[in-house]
Amino acid sequence: MSITDLAGLDARLRGWRHHLHRIPEMAFAEHETSHFVAGALHDLGFQVVTGVGGTGVVASLTRGRSGRAIGLRSELDGLPIDERSGVAYTSEHPGAMHACGHDGHMAMVLGAAAVLAGEGFDGTVRIILQPAEEPGRGAQAMVNDGLFERFPVDRLFGLHNHPGSPAGHLLTRSGPLMASEDNFTIHITGRGGHASAPHLVVDPLVIGAEILLALQQVVARSVDPIHSAVLSCTDLRTDGARNAIPSHVTITGDTRSFDPSVQALLERRIREISAGIAAAHGATAEITYTHEFAPTLNDDECVAIAGEAAARALGQANVELDADPIMASEDFGVLASHVPACLALIGNGVDPGKGGTPLHSHDYTFNDGILTAGVAYYREVAIGGLRTGKRGGN
């Protein structure tokens, strides 16, 4: 099915998207959003289960006798951002906004559900709507609630809009597509005192500055150059004053990588460098390091199915199956660690104001012009995935 075959669905897609854009809700509080998408899927003839992993929704439609099942996943949550996009259907929830395009992602899976409801496929299509993607907690919550035991799938597919790429172009790759994210906090304790007598103190601000600069060498001098990694210190706070040297300094930041061994290396070097520099000055450093997002690693067979589906739906010229990985993170990675899966990026547009405004911006807008492209892709990937059969099957 090509994009032109879906012209009659366009107004409905825009209506869904604009309504969802007006009602953004934060992680695990997507009650109105879940109610709306559950109702729409029920009206399309799907069997709907709500409350999965908190506010998650799973809708299933079975045709024929096959035991095969394909999952299509979208996110539910928005971001705590005051909207300044200027669109007529702006957020009605102050301090909340769909600044990552999850409203568009939901509209696309709803559109796919509408199209598939009229198809004669053989197997089960499951629409999975996940809460709390932005903080990286919702996927694991659904897994912990028995997502894949209660609603088994042979393969899982997802789309995320990608500002900066031509509208409707699909990009993906086998293996690492999006990075892990780990967070760290370094709390340095020295001895504060009067700014006029620095010889009587153990200055944690100077120590923190040394640690911050030393950490900038970790990727360049500790990580194998064939691997990708990012280490960013993003905040430094003290309890000092204009005329008082502080006793405490806190540095926060995050790291990004694709390989668990690199994650472990980054954590180890942060701990060694921070503790070592602090000890050399007679201070202490307490380090907290947490794993927030798993890397998104695409399955080879799923990528092949996605590529064939995208070529049928969008045209071969609009498909790139060797896209560069990106250092941003997506909670889809947790789901992809449990079942064979493929996340793809769909171009949102290049020019600012026409889909090219970066994600998580207060003036970001989802490009309605790519909704039918997403639906066409999802239809083809669901039908193609069911025809391919279970992993290892015929």
Exposure string of 102-112, with b = 16+ CB inside 10 Å and e = fewer, is bbbbbbbbbbb
- In this structure, the dihedral spanned by the alpha carbons of residues 122, 124, 129 and 134, taken in order and rounded to 10 degrees, is -80
pLDDT, one tens digit per residue, over 209-267 is: 999 999 999 999 999 999 999 999 999 999 999 999 999 999 999 999 999 999 999 99
Distance CA(110)–CA(102), nearest Å, equals 12
pLDDT, one tens digit per residue, over 308-358 is: 999 999 999 999 999 999 999 999 999 999 999 999 999 999 998 889 999
Distance of CA 100 to CAs 90, 266, 304, 368, 386, Å? 14, 28, 27, 14, 30
Confirm whether residue 291 is marked as ligand binding.
no
Confirm whether residue 42 is marked as ligand binding.
no
Distance CA(276)–CA(291), nearest Å, equals 23
Q: What is the three-state SS of 50-96?
A: EEECCCEEEEEEEECCCCCEEEEEEECCCECCCCCCCCCCCCCCCCC
CA atoms within 13 A on the CB side of 225: 2
Packing angle, helices 260-280 and 204-215, rounded to 10 = 150
Distance CA(323)–CA(345), nearest Å, equals 9
Q: How many CB atoms are closer than 10 A to CB 168?
A: 24
Confirm whether residue 93 is marked as ligand binding.
no
Q: Would you put residue 43 in left (φ > 0), alpha (ψ -120 to 50) or beta?
A: alpha
**pLDDT confidence of residue 8:** 84
Rg (CA), the chain: 24
CA atoms within 13 A on the CB side of 110: 31
Exposure string of 77-93, with b = 16+ CB inside 10 Å and e = fewer, is bbbebebebeeeeebee
Domains assigned to the chain: 3-175+295-388 (3.40.630.10), 180-293 (3.30.70.360)
CA nearest to 389, candidates 72, 68, 119, 151: 68
**Do 48 and 59 form a contact (C-beta atoms < 8 A)?**
yes
**Per-residue pLDDT tens listing for the chain (394 residues):** 666 677 789 999 999 999 999 999 999 999 999 999 999 999 999 999 999 999 999 999 999 999 999 999 999 999 999 999 999 999 999 999 999 999 999 999 999 999 999 999 999 999 999 999 999 999 999 999 999 999 999 999 999 999 999 999 999 999 999 999 999 999 999 999 999 999 999 999 999 999 999 999 999 999 999 999 999 999 999 999 999 999 999 999 999 999 999 999 999 999 999 999 999 999 999 999 999 999 999 999 999 999 999 999 999 999 999 999 999 999 999 999 999 999 999 999 999 888 999 999 999 999 999 999 999 999 999 999 999 867 644 4
Helices (H), ranges, the chain = 10-22, 31-43, 102-116, 138-144, 147-150, 204-215, 218-221, 260-280, 300-314, 332-336, 371-388
Distance CA(198)–CA(79), nearest Å, equals 44
**pLDDT confidence of residue 394:** 40
Q: How many CB atoms are closer than 10 A to CB 217?
A: 12
**Helix, strand, coil percentages in the chain from 3-state DSSP, rounded to 5:** 35, 25, 35
Confirm whether residue 100 is marked as ligand binding.
yes
**Do 52 and 125 form a contact (C-beta atoms < 8 A)?**
no
**pLDDT confidence of residue 393:** 44
Confirm whether residue 302 is marked as ligand binding.
no
Q: Which structure tokens are listed for 308?
A: 């064939």
**pLDDT confidence of residue 257:** 98
Q: Which structure tokens are listed for 172?
A: 């993906």
